[in-house]
Amino acid sequence: MRYPQTFVEDLKRQADIVRVVQDYVQLKKKGANWMACCPFHKEKTPSFSVSPAKEIFYCFGCHKGGSVFNFVMEMERVSFPEAIKLVAEKSGVPLPKLIDDSRFEARRQEADDVIELNKWALEWWEQQLESSAEGRIARDYLKGREITDETRKTFRLGYAPDSWDALSIYLRQKGVSQDEIDRSGLVVKKEEGGSYDRFRGRLIFPVMDIQGKPIAFGGRTLSKDNPAKYLNSPETPAYIKGQNLFGLNLTRDQIRKQEFAILVEGFLDLIVLHQFGIRNVVASLGTALTSEQVKLLARFARKVVVNYDGDPPGVQAARKAIEILLAQDFEIKVLVLNKADPDEFIREHGLSEYERVQTTSSLNEFIRKHGATAYMERRGEAQPHIKFVIDQAMRDRTLSNPADKEAAIEDVLPFIRVVRNHIQKREYFDIAMDTLQINDATLKRELWHSIRMGPGKSARVTPQSSRRAYVKPTVAEERLLQLLLAHEELRRVLLPKLEPGDYDDLPTAPIFRALLEGEREGKAIDFDFLSRKTGDDPISELLPGLLMSELETEEGDQSEAREVTAERCLNALRLMRLDRSISDLRSEIAAAQRNGETEHCDKLATEQIELTRRREALLPRAEAMQIGN
């Protein structure tokens, strides 16, 4: 069941965003907008603004913004449908009859049923760990790992008795049918009929969704004879592998506050760090990190320290994680704990040592041996990901050996190719070429072109999109978008003059494309339309700030003055593009001269003369616009 889309759109128009926000913060009117200290970060001077005309909120300090639904979702930690219900209640708008979507409703009901069984199972397992005689083996194990009772209760750890049907009997006593038990993932069905409990003689780690509901479980064997160290829930209506992060329900606020996350592999890695006061941690549930998990993490931070085990499987998993994170524009550092997992590192070296180096194999072992202080100190020395990737590529290889050098290059290039921002990509490429001792200019040029094109693509650089925190739009770029978003008549005049090359390489390219599409189709250019068109692209987070900007132009904000300013901005962007091209040509000319490539050098020089001529013609029209970052 879901609410009709027409109702959602009408509710957004009817809801007084000022009144809704005032239920949570004290607003004061300032001009056309309302201001307050931001509820999402600490501040003394108000930078949180609400625009009733544009039906959005935006904080100029932490840059969080969106619609009334986004605000309620953030404040109440609820889903979109629940936010709709709350906004309707606050606005006095009666909720309509839900649209009957039988397939959706059936899936949701099946998921709710599984979660209900999981709750009962978890409560029973907690009791077994807390007080049963058999549970002593698990209590002793946790004591040996120095896990306190407080930590055990925080993470709701349990113990599954070594029985084929103890849990099944308990659930049937609760009135659950065998068919429901079979669908829950808590049992394994036998080919000849019947079933048996999936988790037996294991320490239970519940996997919670973002709202703290148990959707799955991991079980660690406590027997040395069992080859399967960990056993995890299968996929169920409530749980799809690769879409959740262990511990995020407990750590999301600290991740947002500290603006970065530590990514570990295992349950105990996260639990031990949490016990030692390191609360901005998530675990990838022992599986290879997925793009869905990364998108979930991106809601809370865009910086991450990858702290997987330092053994070969852990290093390989870290490499794969880096590639996934880079594709989503994360800023990445890597912490390798010298054959120790994070748990072991903190125990051995302490918290300060961990914060200093976030570079060492097993976290668990390290913490036990060195302590939390040592772990925290080491965390502070985490490597930039490109150094880690290059170091791993050079391990056990000799650069004087052509085959080894080729293999190292092939190892590194995929991690550069996946970077979406052109400037960062070039920086990483230059670092790799210097470290791997690639001095031949022709070879470097060929490798760079292969990086820019990517496999099976044309030589044109693919449109870039990058996060505000890492590549801030230029003054000209931001000012141009502010003007275009604020003035419909200016869009009609200027958008037809835009060429793909004017914006393709800009971080804000998705917004320019959305504007062009909206103008072409006659759509209303507002927050909702632009949000739909930019989708999951990180640049969409700039939209509230661009829409909330208050611009002043020459001569009383007249139409002609706005057009002149917009033209200057556009010319400034074109000038910057020419400057980048001329700079690239100079580097290529210098390389060609060093290699004695006279004919190629002459060809490049001709291109440079033409670009310089175009630049000189454009300069007077762009010089009035400051174009710095």
Averaging pLDDT over each range in 210-224, 391-405, 434-448, which range is the top one? 210-224
Kindly state the average pLDDT of the residues 325-330.
88
Query: Nearest Cα to 534, choosing from 511, 516, 515?
Result: 511
Indicate the average pLDDT of the chain.
Answer: 84
Structure-block tokens of residue 210: 């973002």
d(CA 271, CA 155): 8
Confidence at residue 453, expressed as pLDDT on a 0 to 100 scale: 54
Kindly state the average pLDDT of the residues 172-197.
93
Kindly state the average pLDDT of the residues 445-468.
52
Three-state secondary structure string covering 21-82: HHCCCCCEEECCEEEECCCCCCCCCCCEEEECCCCEEEECCCCCEECHHHHHHHHHCCCHHH
Pick the range with the lowest mean pLDDT from 197-201, 237-241, 490-494, 558-562: 558-562
Averaging pLDDT over each range in 45-59, 343-357, 457-471, 612-626, which range is the top one? 45-59
Confidence at residue 311, expressed as pLDDT on a 0 to 100 scale: 82
Per-residue pLDDT tens for 248-280?
Answer: 999 998 998 888 999 999 899 999 999 999 999
Half-sphere exposure for 234 (CA within 13 Å, toward CB): 11
- Out of 3.90.980.10, 3.40.50.150, 3.30.565.10, 3.30.360.10, select the CATH number for domain 102-232: 3.90.980.10
Kindly state the average pLDDT of the residues 268-293.
90
Confidence at residue 429, expressed as pLDDT on a 0 to 100 scale: 92
Q: Domain 463-629 classified CATH 1.10.860? A: yes
Which strands sit side by side in the sheet containing 383-384, from one edge to the other? Answer: 281-283, 261-264, 303-306, 331-334, 383-384
Half-sphere exposure for 94 (CA within 13 Å, toward CB): 2
Residue 493 neighbours by CB under 8 Å, 6+ apart: 563
Per-domain boundaries in the chain: 5-91, 102-232, 248-384, 396-453, 463-629
Pick the range with the lowest mean pLDDT from 138-152, 182-196, 303-317: 303-317
pLDDT surpasses 80 at 623: no
Q: Domain 248-384 classified CATH 3.40.50.300? A: no
Given pLDDT bands bounded at 50, 70 and 90, which one contains residue 197? very high
Kindly state the average pLDDT of the residues 456-474.
41
**pTM score, two decimals?**
0.64
Given pLDDT bands bounded at 50, 70 and 90, which one contains residue 333? very high
Confidence at residue 339, expressed as pLDDT on a 0 to 100 scale: 53
Averaging pLDDT over each range in 158-167, 287-296, 510-519, 587-596, which range is the top one? 158-167
Query: Nearest Cα to 375, choosing from 358, 399, 396, 393?
Result: 358
Task: Tell me if residue 143 falls in helix, strand or coil.
Answer: helix
Quick check: 379 and 358 in contact, CB under 8 A? yes
Domain 5-91: assigned CATH number? 3.90.580.10
Residue 179 neighbours by CB under 8 Å, 6+ apart: none
d(CA 72, CA 20): 8
Confidence at residue 555, expressed as pLDDT on a 0 to 100 scale: 44
